[in-house]
Amino acid sequence: MNFPSKLIEDAVTAFSQLPGVGKKTALRLVLHMLQEPVEISEQFADAIVDMRKKIKFCAHCHNVSDDTICSICSGSGRDKTTVCVVESIRDIMAIENTNQYKGLYHVLGGVISPIEGVSPKDLNIDTFIQRIPKEGIKEIIMALSPTIEGDTTIFYLSRQLKDQDVKITTLARGISFGGELEYADEMTLGRSIMTRRLYDNDINKSQG
Amino acid sequence: METFSFAEKFNCFVGKNGAGKTNVLDAIYYLCMCKSYISGIDKNVVRQGQPGFRLEASFDVDEKEMQVVAKVRVRKKKVFECNREAYKRLALHIGRFPVVMIAPDDTSLAREGSEERRRFINNTLSQLDPIYLNQLIIYNRALNQRNAALKQFAEDGSFNLSLMEALNRQLLEPAAYIYQKRKEWMGQLEVLLKENYAFISNKQEAVSCRYESKLSQANFEDLLLQNLDKDRYLQRTTAGIHKDDLVFYIGDKPLKRFASQGQLKTFVLALKLAQYHLLQKNKDQFPLLLLDDIFDKLDASRVAQLLDLLSEERFGQVFLTDTHEERMKAMAEKIQHHFSIFKIENGQLKNEM
């Protein structure tokens, strides 16, 4: 693509570094900024620079935070004996949006995958293991993706925790709510049958 | 683009060598198995200079018509559709339309290394059991992770036993499933192999096939631990279902070393027909039978004998290729079945007889 201005070209190059943004979309965004008052561009640039420079990662759970300790770890009304292990910050947002969980989190920053060159030492595992006795954690919920890599990570973590008195749970796997059985794939359906639950028990649990 | 309208029973593609006869068979195979029989790599089956290809077929199963479309573009994810709905995973398509290909180089099954035979086992079981293919994909992924870790350990001079155990564990469940299914189905295949061999060879000698796996002698988890030093040294996993084999015997001797050329050919033909019958019995549906150039070097009486066999009710629709147009025309007149002949020239359908 040829540009009439070096300034435009630089801006297009900058935008097109973003994931999912190609050269054409970048140009559209740049031309849009050009039509808007200069203040808009200033605010835009400031917001990004501020975010990048001032953002902190929580010393306890590695969540994004404005302070040393994030709002979840320092929040009142949270169950501080339960910690939910997630892969990334996005997973925290997804679980928070369910309004079903009031415990703490721990962000690993990925899952173990030797193919991708990710080994346990590349993840926030040491800080996690240290947290458990220090904070008196009673239950750990492993909320990692149901993949080989997620499973490997869960098993690895449970091995590291084997001498500690803590309950380890994993997310239930099965048929999605509102889905129809005939569209579920065989693996999921087969697993759901293998790990079926007692119906009465379910009702008791949700009531009590 | 070429369009074929096939006869219910026999469909024969005639033409010179290199005219494109096998290509038509492979297109049918592709529509059933989501990959080519000739090359596992899609790029190799796209016409040179073209960005990709598209195949369409209309299958009639139990009076129901199903439209299958394959869209393949080089370096893009291929798309398979059934009745205009794209599959989320190709594995869901495999086995819906069972298929068996019999080709001249099938003897490599008996002659070459165990990889060829594992491919044969996997091809058969993937069509029989959709979960099998899934478990196989999971096993291979977990195996790659383990091998990558072994390499990484060797490079850094490090070792992490907990990580190794975590990676071992991922292999156990899919391996157990695959081992169980292979044992089960290969037992059934052997019975059918013996029947077919006896029939084709006029009961000359007994043959057998034996499924061999280290998992039959020991617990897989123990095997992985026992072989750990060796695995670390070689930087790959040396035990597991990826090393299984199917060993063929003629009498009580290994086929590979003791069979004549003729016996070898007869054996692999019987093996493929056994695969056909295994699929047919367990899927309650006739697989498509693709015969590539198997009449080559056979005299007229043997060709007639084979076509007689395939005319029987235990066979469904058959597709075959031959270089002898006249021979096939003569056969078509003799056989009391629907028999279409398609003449292929320079990769195009010349005419239909």
Residue to test with chain B: of A118, A119, A145, A168, most B Cβ within 10 A: A119
What CATH architecture is A6-54?
Orthogonal Bundle (1.10)
pLDDT of residue A181: 82
Q: Touching check for B155 and chain A: CB below 8 Å?
A: no
Let me know if residue B227 belongs to a domain: yes
Distance in angstroms (rounded) separating the CA atoms of residues B41 and B47:
13
Q: Which residues contact B169 (CB under 8 A, 6 or more apart)?
A: A151, A152, A155, B221
- Nearest Cα of chain B lies from the Cα of A19 at a distance, in angstroms, of 19
Let me know if residue B60 belongs to a domain: no
Q: Touching check for B141 and chain A: CB below 8 Å?
A: yes
Residues 121-150 of A with CB under 8 A from B: 148-149
pLDDT of residue B353: 67
Let me know if residue B265 belongs to a domain: yes
State chain B's maximal CA–CA distance in angstroms.
Answer: 73
A114 to B167: CB separation less than 8 angstroms, yes or no: yes
Out of A112, A120, A155, name the one closest to residue B169 (CB): A155
Distance in angstroms (rounded) separating the CA atoms of residues B288 and B350:
24
Q: Is the ipTM of this complex over 0.95?
A: no
Beta-carbon pairs below 8 A across chains A and B: 56
B160 to A153: CB separation less than 8 angstroms, yes or no: no
Which domain covers residue B118, as residue numbers? 105-284
3-state SS class at A63:
coil
Question: What is the average per-residue pLDDT within A88-92?
Answer: 96
Question: Percent of chain A scored above 90 by pLDDT?
Answer: 77
* Rg of chain A in Å (alpha carbons): 23
B126 contacts in A (CB within 8 Å)?
A: none
Residues 230-269 of B with CB under 8 A from A: none
Distance in angstroms (rounded) separating the CA atoms of residues A171 and A154:
11
Residue A207 has pLDDT above 70, yes or no: no
Distance in angstroms (rounded) separating the CA atoms of residues B300 and B287:
26
A155 to B165: CB separation less than 8 angstroms, yes or no: yes
Residue to test with chain B: of A125, A129, A156, most B Cβ within 10 A: A156
Let me know if residue B315 belongs to a domain: no
B170 to A148: CB separation less than 8 angstroms, yes or no: yes
Q: In Å, how far are B161, B226, B244, B301 from B220, measured between CA atoms?
A: 17, 10, 13, 51
B145 to A119: CB separation less than 8 angstroms, yes or no: no
B170 to A151: CB separation less than 8 angstroms, yes or no: yes
Number of domains in chain B: 1
Relative to beta strand B99-102, strand B85-86 is: unpaired
* pLDDT confidence band for A174 (50 / 70 / 90): confident
Distance in angstroms (rounded) separating the CA atoms of residues B23 and B39:
12
Strands across the sheet containing B318-322:
B99-102, B288-291, B318-322, B10-14, B339-345, B348-352
Residue to test with chain B: of A155, A170, A192, most B Cβ within 10 A: A155
Q: Which residues contact B295 (CB under 8 A, 6 or more apart)?
A: B303, B306, B320, B322, B324, B327
Residue to test with chain B: of A147, A152, A160, A194, most B Cβ within 10 A: A152
What are the start-end ranges of the H helices in chain A? Answer: 6-15, 23-35, 38-54, 71-74, 89-96, 126-135, 148-160, 186-194, 199-207
Whole-number mean pLDDT of chain A?
90
Q: In Å, how far are A116, A207, B46, B125 from B41, measured between CA atoms?
A: 23, 55, 10, 21
B166 to A156: CB separation less than 8 angstroms, yes or no: yes
Domain definitions of chain A by residue range: 6-54, 58-207
pLDDT of residue B350: 80
Q: Touching check for A160 and chain B: CB below 8 Å?
A: yes
The dihedrals phi and psi of B15, each to the nearest 5 degrees, come to 160, 175
pLDDT of residue B297: 67
Q: Which residues contact B185 (CB under 8 A, 6 or more apart)?
A: B124, B125, B128, B278
B95 contacts in A (CB within 8 Å)?
A: none
Distance in angstroms (rounded) separating the CA atoms of residues A95 and A88:
11
B141 contacts in A (CB within 8 Å)?
A: 148
Residue A80 has pLDDT above 60, yes or no: yes
User: Counting beta carbons within 10 angstroms of the beta carbon of residue B84, is it exposed (0 to 12), middle (13 to 18) or buried (19 or more)?
Assistant: exposed
Q: Touching check for A22 and chain B: CB below 8 Å?
A: no
The CATH number of the domain where B241 resides is what?
Answer: 1.20.1050.90
B165 contacts in A (CB within 8 Å)?
A: 155, 159
Residue A203 has pLDDT above 70, yes or no: no
Give the pLDDT means over successive 10-residue stretches in chain B (353 positions). Answer: 88 88 94 91 88 94 90 91 91 94 90 92 94 93 96 92 94 96 95 90 85 94 95 95 95 88 87 95 93 78 79 89 85 80 85 70
Q: Touching check for B218 and chain A: CB below 8 Å?
A: no
Query: What are the tokens at B307?
Result: 């076509």
Let me know if residue B191 belongs to a domain: yes
The dihedrals phi and psi of B344, each to the nearest 5 degrees, come to -110, 130
Residue B266's CB: how many other CB atoms inside 10 A? 20
A119 to B89: CB separation less than 8 angstroms, yes or no: no
pTM above 0.90, yes or no: no
Residue to test with chain A: of B92, B145, B150, most A Cβ within 10 A: B145
Residue A201 has pLDDT above 70, yes or no: no
| pLDDT digits 0-9 by tens, A144-165 | 998 999 999 999 999 999 999 9
| pLDDT digits 0-9 by tens, A12-69 | 999 999 999 999 999 999 999 999 999 999 999 999 999 999 999 999 999 999 999 9
Let me know if residue B120 belongs to a domain: yes
A115 contacts in B (CB within 8 Å)?
A: 144-145, 148
Q: Helix B261-283 to helix B114-128 angle, to the nearest 10 degrees? A: 20
Nearest CA in chain A to B167: A152
Residue A208 has pLDDT above 50, yes or no: no
Residue A10's CB: how many other CB atoms inside 10 A? 12
pLDDT of residue B48: 87
pLDDT of residue B335: 78
Positive or negative, the CA dihedral B148, B152, B155, B159 is: negative
Let me know if residue B168 belongs to a domain: yes
Q: Touching check for B272 and chain A: CB below 8 Å?
A: no
Per CATH, the number for A58-207 is 3.40.1360.10
pLDDT of residue B178: 97
Let me know if residue B185 belongs to a domain: yes
